[in-house]
Structure 1
Amino acid sequence: MICLFGNQKGGVGKSTLTVLSGNYLTLAKDWPVTVIDMDYQQSISQKYEKAKVLENAEPYEVLPANLETFPMLRDVLTKNKKDAILIDLPGKLDDDGLIAVFQSADMVVCPFAYDEFTYESTVLFTVVLKKVNPAIEVVFVPNRIKANVKFETLTEVNEQLLKFGTITPVIPDRIDFQRITTFQTPLSLYAVIGPVFEQIFAKRLWNP
């Protein structure tokens, strides 16, 4: 399975969700995972290298990559169909190299927030993705959501996004997300992220 993490809007938490997913699948579900870091900032790769100095054996491998090297990586990594390949995408849609990545993916996890600019960026990203790969499964994750979101805004945004895919339970804005590493997720977060990842991955992974 190839799962993308992306949005046209930066700062919505796609890299954090990629790491959380890698940790959850390996540590909680004992599932083989490889993370491909294609984000321009390479924040996951940096976090991974830093953690390797301090921790024991890593639960999964993080590979820094660019769009040009993806076809070769894909052919190697997808030989075992049961493995989960998690890809943290670049934050822009202006590179033709994304086409091969979009076409190869089974699903995309798209974090978003309930504001007008993020909503518009999320829809743009999804429309482009669906044109390239109409069969891809889209899962929207309300991420870093504060308690003061207006109910009317939440309802209107959800109604529009449901035309493109499914929406998971909300992940609230919490300080302990800053303590995540590529080796562990704070135990205090499992009650929050568990229902989200069960919805995202259950159909594809628990029952291959």
Structure 2
Amino acid sequence: MESENKTKFIAFSSQKGGVGKSTFTVLVASELHYRQGYNVAVFDADFPQYSLVKMKNRDLGMVMENEFLKKAAFRQFTSINRKAYPIIEHKAEGVVQAAIEFLESSDLRFDFIFFDLPGTVNTPGILKALAGMHHIFTPITADRVVMESSLVFTQLMNDVIMKKGSTSIKSINLFWNQVDGRERSPLYELYSKLIGELGLTIMRTQVMNSTRFRKESEAAAKTVFRSTLLPADERLMKACRMDQFIAEFFEIINS
């Protein structure tokens, strides 16, 4: 799995709930699969809630009930000649091997597999699953509890797993999420400096706060943001700087 031409294993992972790991998994997977032409699959290993599997079922129902979204989905799937990306349910234990077996049994060549993993290192198999990723992206917010949890988690990845050598990890990337554009908090600068002093990597892009991150498609909606069946509206992506995030994401994985 090390060749640049092979499938990349990506996880948005954090040890703190509510910071956006599942949302970013969907946003980036949908952008890459539906808008940018890559073949994507997702493994939902966040047992027992399996929120992405449930989200896809809700999205299917919403598209069938909303005439605008139904037409948008028809145009999209006719244009790209590609099915919706699969979301496969699996526990964290053994999920990397399950993904490898999935790739070997598929007639389709996948460019990316995204993994939605549990938010605790005590979960059986989680450290082995993380060690099997090529790139890990960790959303953080300017909150003391979130920062402490995220930095401990990232240092564990950096100092224990990566330095042992038995890992596929090429990069671990912290990034600011839920940034309030109306507020100039000194915490961002202070924490960014601390992250650098710890020898960790933080992305340039700061993703702006938006209520859309906590919303799925609504019954009368004419735009979508967080959806497993359609890419996020480009204007909404730009408004929260997700377009910049995607560009930097590609810089990282292709470097």
**Which letter does structure 1 place at the counterpart of 2:53?**
S
Aligned to 1:61: 86
Q: Matched residues in 2 for 1:198 and 1:91: separation?
A: 26
Q: Give the SS at the match of 1:2.
A: strand
Cα distance change, pair 136–78 in 1 and its aligned pair in 2 (3 A): farther
* 1:45 to 1:122, Cα distance in 2 relative to 1, 3 A: same
**Length-normalised TM-score, structure 2:** 0.73
In structure 1, the partner of 2:237 is 190
CA distance in 2, matches of 1:3, 1:188: 25
Aligned to 1:136: 170
Whole-angstrom distance in 2 between the partners of 1:50 and 1:133: 38
Q: Please state if 1:72 is matched with 2:118.
A: no
1:1-208 matches, within 5 Å, as: 1-40=8-47, 41-53=49-61, 54=64, 58-79=83-104, 83-130=111-158, 131-134=160-163, 135-162=169-196, 163-177=199-213, 178-179=215-216, 180-184=226-230, 185-191=232-238, 192-204=241-253
Deviation of 1:78 after TM superposition, in Å, equals: 4.9
Structure 1 residues 85 and 204: CA distance shift in structure 2, 3 A: same
SS of residue paired to 1:172:
coil
Amino acid at match of 1:76: E
Cα offsets for 1:33-59 (capped at 9, x unmatched): 111111232111101122234365653
Q: Distance in 2 between matches of 1:71 and 1:2?
A: 9
* Contiguous gaps of at least 5 residues in structure 2: 1-7, 65-69, 78-82, 164-168, 217-225
Structure 1 counterpart of 2:5: none
Structure 1 residues 12, 83: CA separation in 2 closer, same or farther (over 3 Å shift)?
same
**How many Å apart are 1:18 and its aligned residue?**
0.4
Partner SS, residue 166 of structure 1:
coil
SS in 1 for 2:43: strand
Give the CA deviation at 1:155. Answer: 0.6
Taking the aligned partners of 2:146 and 2:172, their CA distance within structure 1 comes to 16
DSSP-derived class of the 1:167 partner: coil
Partner Cα separation in structure 2 for residue 99 and residue 174 of structure 1: 31
CA RMSD of aligned residues (A): 2.3
User: What amino acid does structure 2 have at the position aligned with 1:132?
Assistant: I
Q: 12-21 vs 162-171, which deviates more?
A: 162-171
- Cα distance, 1:148 vs. partner? 5.0
Q: Please report the TM-score for the alignment, with normalisation by the length of structure 1.
A: 0.88
Larger Rg: 2
Equivalent position amino acid for 1:65 in 2: H
User: Partners of 1:133 and 1:85 in 2: how far apart?
Assistant: 20
Letter of the 1:31 counterpart: Y
Listed one character per residue, the Cα deviations across residues 121-172 of structure 1 (whole Å, up to 9, x for unaligned) are: 1101101222113453012221112235444211111122232113141111
Contact 1:36 1:88 in 2 (8 A): yes
- Give the gaps of 5 or more residues in structure 1: none
Instruction: Kindly indicate whether the alpha-carbon contact (under 8 Å) linking 2:93 and 2:129 is maintained by their aligned counterparts in 1.
Output: no
